[in-house]
Amino acid sequence: LQKKKKEKATLFRRGKKCWIGSKVSIVHRLALTDDSEVDSSTVQDPFIFTVGDGALFPALEELILGLSVEAEESFIIAAEYGFGAVDSTQIHSIPMDTFEQQFEDTAEIAAGVVIYFESPAGDEVPATIVSVEGSEVMVDFNHPLAGRDLKFEVKVISIED
């Protein structure tokens, strides 16, 4: 641990850098590799987080480590390091009548619609309707970005110890 502290102190003399525990403000853009935007922030409304607090998935935190104020980077994140691969055990057939309380009109139940279920712990769990086949609805509980490579563009605005 002492060696790491010495390295960190040396690097801070050359300019602040992002480390575990740093409060960081960034402008970012998260997109699919076809450039479809998923999330973004602006200088007027930056994304502010503490490195290591879990606000970003581990691969993004790792990419930010060591960046200094005003650093601008662009990364491609493979699906397995982002939201993971698609897990076929997370795709389930659910009877249509399960949805009648959520939807006034069952015609709204269609492929691509994101719906929310309540977990046993009371958390909201998103799922995507894959298909409707008669009285059965195929529902995918994987994260909507599972199996997708991502493009992450970031500019560090500020860093606080």
147 — pLDDT class (breaks 50, 70, 90):
very high
Better pLDDT: 97 or 70: 70
Burial of 161 per CB tally in 10 Å (0-12, 13-18, 19+): exposed
What is the average pLDDT score of the chain?
A: 87
- The rounded distance, in Å, linking the Cα atoms of 81 and 85 is 9
- The rounded distance, in Å, linking the Cα atoms of 37 and 101 is 32
Share of the chain above pLDDT 90, in %: 67
pLDDT tens profile 66-90:
999 999 999 999 999 999 999 999 9
Instruction: Characterise 26 by phi-psi region: left (phi > 0), alpha (psi -120 to 50), beta (else).
Output: beta
pLDDT tops 60 at residue 3: no
String of DSSP letters for 9-74? HHHHHT--B--TT-EEEEEEEEEETT--EEEE--SSS-EEEETTSSSS-HHHHHHHTT-BTT-EEE
- The rounded distance, in Å, linking the Cα atoms of 12 and 21 is 14
pLDDT tens profile 125-143:
889 999 999 899 999 999 9
- The rounded distance, in Å, linking the Cα atoms of 43 and 28 is 9
Enter the tokens of residue 122. 């009371």
105 — pLDDT class (breaks 50, 70, 90):
confident
**Mean per-residue pLDDT, 45-61:** 92
Share of the chain above pLDDT 70, in %: 91
Enter the tokens of residue 138. 């195929």
pTM value is 0.73
Would you say 67 and 73 are in contact if contact means Cβ atoms under 8 Å apart? Answer: yes
pLDDT tens profile 13-34:
346 899 999 999 999 999 999 9
Specify the pLDDT at position 5. 41
pLDDT tops 70 at residue 10: no
